[in-house]
Amino acid sequence: MAGEVKTKLSKNLLRMKFMQRGLDSQTKKQLEEEEKKIISEEHWYLDVPDLKEKESCIIEERSFLRCEDLVYGRMSFKGFNPEIEKLMIQMNSKCKEEEIEENDKMEADVSDEEMARRYETLVGTIGKKFLRKRDQRVLKDDDEDEDDEEGNNTKPSKRAKKMFLKPQD
């Protein structure tokens, strides 16, 4: 009785997502094949010989821009609109600029020497950051010791150890 009920289920119903779990592999395959058949039958194509694409040496161009070397359409003269004047130079010398750039490299804002000098001092400051507090103090002590050797100890020594002062009776 149960088997009869199963056969009565329509194909469309069996194809639904929630029915797929319960299906056995054979019926699944059968359904897939049928589906493929339907797709291939529905697919149609033109029954004509392939068009031979002939490569041509002529390009059609609808724009005057590529024929005549036209300049950019915004202009400003004698400093009326400085923004546009800057843009004009930029737009109208695009091809020239590329050549120039190849010849001499962009002028750097900071010269190499200055950069090296800055780094020299930077190494110390940044290096300090990565040291532990104790090491930092050692470094500082060394510096101050040098100062001490120079002569009078003018600075009230911060590092005078705070000691317990015995109250006087």
Partner 1 sequence: MAVERGTAAERGTPAETLVGQVVLPGDLLLLPAHYDEDAEGERLRLSAGAAPLGRLLCGPGLKRSGAGLLVTTCGLLRHRPGGGGAYWVDSQQKRYVPVKGDHVIGIVTAKAGDVFRLDVGGSEPASLSYLAFEGATKRNRPNVQVGDLIYGQFVVANKDMEPEMVCIDSSGKSSGMGIIGQDGFLFKVSLGLIRKLLAPKCEIIQELSQLYPFELVIGMNGRIWVKAKTVQQTLIIVNILEACEYMTGEQRKQALAKLSGN
| C-alpha–C-alpha distance, residues 144 and 83, integer Å | 56
Smallest separation, CB 86 to partner 1 (Å): 10
Q: Which residue from 45, 80, 130, 164 is in contact with partner 1, where contact means CB under 8 A?
A: 80
153-158, long-range: CB within 8 Å, 24+ apart, which pairs? none
Query: Which one among 1, 16, 67, 110 touches partner 1, defined by CB under 8 A?
Result: 67
How many amino acids of this chain bind partner 1 (CB under 8 A)? 32
Nearer to partner 1, 78 or 134 (CB): 78
Interface map 84-123 toward partner 1 (x if CB under 8 A): x--x---xx-------------------------------
Structure tokens at 66: 């590529």
Per-residue buried b or exposed e for 132-169, using 16+ beta carbons within 10 Å of the residue's own CB: eeeeeeeeeeeeeeeeeeeeeeeeeeeeeeeeeeeeee
Could you identify the residue written with the tokens 């009920």?
5
Residue 64 interacts with partner 1 (CB under 8 A): yes or no: yes
End-to-end CA distance of the chain: 114
Q: Residue 27 carries which DSSP code?
A: H
Q: Which of 20, 30, 81, 157 binds partner 1 (CB under 8 A)?
A: 81
The two three-digit tokens of residue 48, written as one number: 């004509």
Give the one residue of 11, 28, 66, 117 binding partner 1; rule: CB under 8 A.
66
Supply the minimum distance, in Å, between the C-beta of residue 101 and partner 1.
Answer: 17
Nearest-angstrom CA–CA distance, 128 and 138: 11
- Regarding 79 and contact with partner 1 (CB under 8 A), the answer is yes
Residues that bind partner 1 (CB under 8 A): 54-81, 84, 87, 91-92
